[in-house]
């Protein structure tokens, strides 16, 4: 028996704002969605168009306040083929929340406060 990565989930407060962010910042597009029959939730799965891995955004209708992410001791990572262009784009968007030049990485913060690591191409 073996297991393969399939998807990762972030719960989001404002689905449209999150969809816009992930499209603009990382080029992620919706690949499928699921809506509760009673309208109580909506799941939107985003893909990068290259790998099979998906980011699931979960929106809950009855949620009335943003999520408390605690100490944020987790993150999702994306590798880019052009670190300089990616950094310039994210800097212009104002979504870089932490940089570690000695490691050659930086982090974005999405509209809900989730951190996304941007890493350079493998050498």
- Marked catalytic residue, from 56, 99, 109, 117: 117
Return all residues near 30 (Cβ < 8 A) that are at least 6 apart: 19, 44, 45, 46, 47
Q: From CA 15, how far away is CA 59, in angstroms rounded?
A: 6
The HSE-up count of residue 36 (CA atoms within 13 Å, CB side) is: 10
- Classified as helix, coil or strand, 88 is helix
Q: Can 33 be counted among the known catalytic residues? A: no
Altogether, the residues listed in the chain come to a count of 123
Residues forming beta bridges with residue 79, ordered by sequence position: 119
Catalytic residues: 117
């Amino acid at each position: 028996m073996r297991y393969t990565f399939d998807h990762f989930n972030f719960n989001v407060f404002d689905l449209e704002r999150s969809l816009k962010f992930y499209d603009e910042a990382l080029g992620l597009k919706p690949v499928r969605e699921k809506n509760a029959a009673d309208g109580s939730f909506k799941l939107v799965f985003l893909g990068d168009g290259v790998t099979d891995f998906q980011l699931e955004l979960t929106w809950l209708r009855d949620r009335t306040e943003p999520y408390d992410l605690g100490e944020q001791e987790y993150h999702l990572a994306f590798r880019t083929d052009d670190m300089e262009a990616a950094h310039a784009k994210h800097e212009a968007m104002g979504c870089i929340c932490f940089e570690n030049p000695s490691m050659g990485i930086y982090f974005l913060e999405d509209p809900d406060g989730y951190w996304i690591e941007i890493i350079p191409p493998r050498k």
